[in-house]
């Protein structure tokens, strides 16, 4: 009889895991069901481009169901809770589903209401976010009417999805106001809770240099306690203030609400404690976690979910066969950083190796940690790769779970 | 590896003064570290946070962020900043003798 694999979440991680599992397990061995509250799969990396009119919101959304291989069951309902003891998931449509293996792939959600005043006066007019589709669309309507003043981009606190996205927003804003001929009338500030623009030393140096070059002021260790939309200021817990005419917020993130309703599954923020090498949940041996839903200290990014997918699927097969798990996820992360004026940087790193200069994936590839036109084209090309290779769960040449070392200038990391 | 001396004993610390071997720490040196960080007297509320930091480190191998402290330590974020004005997560970690909390990336 087939074993039941239940995948909660039909986003990047859930979709690619379901598809990979479906291909690697014989039909009669596993019955795979993917659950999601809606049938709208959003290409999240595209959100960054929407405010600047470089992407249309409708071009970023496709059916979740349509991304799943035939033979995978899709069930549209929100999750009420997971009962780890009974090995059962209760959905909000009232049905209960037992599982042999559960995959938690429900990502992270925005919790702007956790910051005092953020969703109060000014929300949607002078206070925005591009981290949701409606938010990005609202900002695309607001930016063209901005004629000058202080633009503040604020990352409230980690963890957030794609920690480089707020920096990319600053770079693109610099380009955008240049194009409109009003850059000299706009002040751009990046306000972050971190003690630098980015936490990885070599990368922080490169990005800080770029920010300075583009005239973006950086305010660090600013822990936003309150957003006062009427007065136009951010107020930190330690009493500092940053004034703004337009605020672009990256709100606090949390896990999916059902995680906190499921005894023993999540931590205080609703993320799921996960073994960093096997991707097994700490709560139960037959629960696995992928992507933004984990509590891991790796970036919440699609590339990470892709790299995790390979290890996760191998481990689910091993678990079902009663074999020892493969502890090989190395924290591999890869991201393009759009830097404006048709250029981008590329970084590729893992738990042990910092982002370093060189080339990717080998000696003759895309330049690492350096602005180039080629990387910008790579970033644009990635959207098609996402729908046609990454989600279907294909192995992508050069983009494997184990981080490549060829082409990397490792000496640059030690001098950081 | 740099070291610091508290109450006549030597401790291994990182470049910023955070303990690298938390087991070397004991409660009797907390007040001296706190003074270095500009905190005059350690009240019961300070101790509640310091003990929570130790507990979290023992459980999870890393110190909590300010947001998690605010949710779970029993001391709200605003008060945490009154107790440790220069940054609760960092300063309390230093006084509690645990490594600097790594910002997730």
Provide the ipTM.
0.84
Kindly report which listed range (A130-139, A357-366, B75-84) carries the lowest average pLDDT score.
Answer: A357-366
pLDDT digits (tens, 9 = 90+) for A188-220: 999 999 889 987 778 888 999 999 999 999 999
Residue A240's contacts (CB-CB under 8 Å, 6 or more residues apart) are A222
Q: Average pLDDT of A76-92?
A: 98
**One domain for residues A236 and A121:** yes
**One domain for residues A76 and A91:** yes
Tell me if A268 and B68 make a contact (CB, 8 A cut-off).
Answer: yes
What integer pLDDT is reported at residue A415 of this predicted model? 46
Cβ neighbours of B38 in A, within 8 Å: none
Percent of chain A topping pLDDT 70: 99
Residue A20 lies in a domain: yes
**One domain for residues A396 and A270:** no
**One domain for residues A7 and A83:** yes
pLDDT at B35 over 70: yes
Q: Which of A252, A286, A305 is the last residue before a domain boundary? A: A252
Question: Does A157 reach chain B within 8 Å, measured CB to CB?
Answer: yes
Q: Where are the beta strands (DSSP E) in A105-243?
A: 108-110, 127-128, 149-155, 186-192, 216-219, 224-228, 233-236, 241-243
Whole-number Å distance between alpha carbons of A295 and A412 = 29
What integer pLDDT is reported at residue A26 of this predicted model? 83
Residue that the structure tokens 């938390």 belong to? B22
What integer pLDDT is reported at residue A1 of this predicted model? 61
pLDDT band per the 50, 70, 90 thresholds, residue B101: confident
pLDDT at A364 over 90: no
pLDDT at B12 over 60: yes
Q: Average pLDDT of A157-178?
A: 96
What residue spans of A146-185 are helical by DSSP H?
165-179
Q: Which of A228, A252, A276 is the last residue before a domain boundary? A: A252
pLDDT at B27 over 60: yes
Nearest CA to CA, how far is A380 from chain B (Å)? 24
pLDDT digits (tens, 9 = 90+) for A303-361: 999 999 999 999 999 999 999 999 999 999 999 999 999 999 999 999 889 899 999 99
**One domain for residues A247 and A260:** no
pLDDT at A156 over 80: yes
Residue A327 lies in a domain: no
pLDDT at A416 over 60: no
**One domain for residues A246 and A151:** yes
**One domain for residues A21 and A120:** no
Whole-number Å distance between alpha carbons of B27 and B43 = 13
**E strand or H helix at A81:** strand A79-83
What integer pLDDT is reported at residue A203 of this predicted model? 87
Which of the pair, A396 or A102, is modelled with greater confidence? A102
A368 forms bridges with which residues in the sheet?
A358
Q: Average pLDDT of B64-69?
A: 90
Residue A15 lies in a domain: yes
**One domain for residues A304 and A369:** no
The yes-or-no answer on residue B104 being catalytic is yes
Question: Does B61 reach chain A within 8 Å, measured CB to CB?
Answer: no
**One domain for residues A206 and A156:** yes
Q: Average pLDDT of A231-249?
A: 97
Question: Does A61 reach chain B within 8 Å, measured CB to CB?
Answer: no
Nearest CA to CA, how far is A321 from chain B (Å)? 30
Q: Average pLDDT of B54-61?
A: 91
pLDDT at A414 over 60: no
Order of all β-strands in the sheet with A224-228: A224-228, A233-236, A241-243
pLDDT at A367 over 80: yes
Q: Average pLDDT of B66-71?
A: 92
Question: Does B68 reach chain A within 8 Å, measured CB to CB?
Answer: yes
DSSP letter at A139 equals H
The partner residue sitting opposite A157, judged by closest CB among B65, B81, B87, is B65
Residue A328 lies in a domain: no
Residue A143 lies in a domain: yes
**Domain CATH for A268:** 3.50.50.60
**One domain for residues A277 and A364:** no
What integer pLDDT is reported at residue A237 of this predicted model? 94
Half-sphere exposure of A241 (CA within 13 A, CB side): 7
pLDDT at B47 over 90: yes
Residue A160 lies in a domain: yes
Q: Which of A265, A296, A321 is the last residue before a domain boundary? A: A321
**One domain for residues A132 and A82:** no
Residue that the structure tokens 């005092």 belong to? A116
What integer pLDDT is reported at residue A400 of this predicted model? 86
Residue A178 lies in a domain: yes
- Domain around A371: 333-414
Residue A326 lies in a domain: no
Nearest CA to CA, how far is A94 from chain B (Å)? 31
Look at chain A and report how many structural domains it folds into: 3
Q: List the single residue in A with minimal CA-CA distance to B84.
A: A238
**One domain for residues A295 and A271:** yes
Conformational region of residue A20, where left means phi above 0, alpha means psi within -120 to 50, and beta covers everything else? alpha
Whole-number Å distance between alpha carbons of A323 and A126 = 55
């Amino acid at each position: 009889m087939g074993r039941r694999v239940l995948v909660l979440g039909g986003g990047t991680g859930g979709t690619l895991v379901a598809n990979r599992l479906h291909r690697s397990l014989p039909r009669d061995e596993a019955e795979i069901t993917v659950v999601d509250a809606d049938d709208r799969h959003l290409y999240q990396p595209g959100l960054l481009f929407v405010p600047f009119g470089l992407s249309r919101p409708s071009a970023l959304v496709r059916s979740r169901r349509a991304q799943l291989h035939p033979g995978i069951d899709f069930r549209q309902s929100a999750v009420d809770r997971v009962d780890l003891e009974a090995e059962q998931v209760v959905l909000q449509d009232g049905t209960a589903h037992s599982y042999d293996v559960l995959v938690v792939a429900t990502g992270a959600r925005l919790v702007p209401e956790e910051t005092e005043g953020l969703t109060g006066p000014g929300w949607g007019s002078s206070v925005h976010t591009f981290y949701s589709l409606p938010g990005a669309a609202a900002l695309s309507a607001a930016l063209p009417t901005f004629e000058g003043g202080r633009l503040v981009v604020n990352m409230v606190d980690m963890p957030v999805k794609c920690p480089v996205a707020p920096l990319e927003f600053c770079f693109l804003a610099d380009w955008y106001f240049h194009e409109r001929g009003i850059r000299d009338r706009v002040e751009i500030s990046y306000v972050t809770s971190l003690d630098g623009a980015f936490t990885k030393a070599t990368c922080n140096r490169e990005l800080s240099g770029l920010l300075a070059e583009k005239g973006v002021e950086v305010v660090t260790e600013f822990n936003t306690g309150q957003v006062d939309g009427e007065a136009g200021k951010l107020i930190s817990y330690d009493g500092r203030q940053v004034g703004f005419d337009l605020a672009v917020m990256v709100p606090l993130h949390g896990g999916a609400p059902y995680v906190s309703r499921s005894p023993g599954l999540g931590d205080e923020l609703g993320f799921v404690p996960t073994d960093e090498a096997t991707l097994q949940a700490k709560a139960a041996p037959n629960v696995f976690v992928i992507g933004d839903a984990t509590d891991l200290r790796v970036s919440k990014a699609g590339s990470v979910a892709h790299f995790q997918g390979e290890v996760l699927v191998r481990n689910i097969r091993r678990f079902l066969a009663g074999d020892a798990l493969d502890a090989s996820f190395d924290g591999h992360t890869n991201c393009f950083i759009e830097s404006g004026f048709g250029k981008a940087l590329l970084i590729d790193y893992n738990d042990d190796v910092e982002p370093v200069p060189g080339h990717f994936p080998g000696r003759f590839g895309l330049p690492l940690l350096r602005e180039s036109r080629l990387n910008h084209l790579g970033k644009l090309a990635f959207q098609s790769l996402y729908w046609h290779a990454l989600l279907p769960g294909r192995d992508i040449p050069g983009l494997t779970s184990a981080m490549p070392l060829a082409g990397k200038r490792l000496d640059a990391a030690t001098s950081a | 590896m740099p070291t610091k001396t508290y109450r006549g004993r030597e401790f291994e610390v990182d470049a910023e003064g955070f303990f690298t071997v938390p087991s070397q720490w004991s409660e009797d040196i907390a007040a001296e570290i706190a003074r270095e960080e500009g905190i005059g007297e350690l009240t019961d509320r300070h101790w509640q946070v310091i003990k929570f930091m130790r507990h979290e480190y023992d459980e999870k191998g890393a110190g909590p962020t300010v947001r998690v402290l605010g949710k779970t330590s029993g001391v709200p974020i605003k008060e945490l900043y009154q107790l440790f004005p220069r940054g609760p997560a960092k300063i309390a970690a230093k006084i509690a003798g645990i490594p600097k909390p790594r910002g997730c990336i």
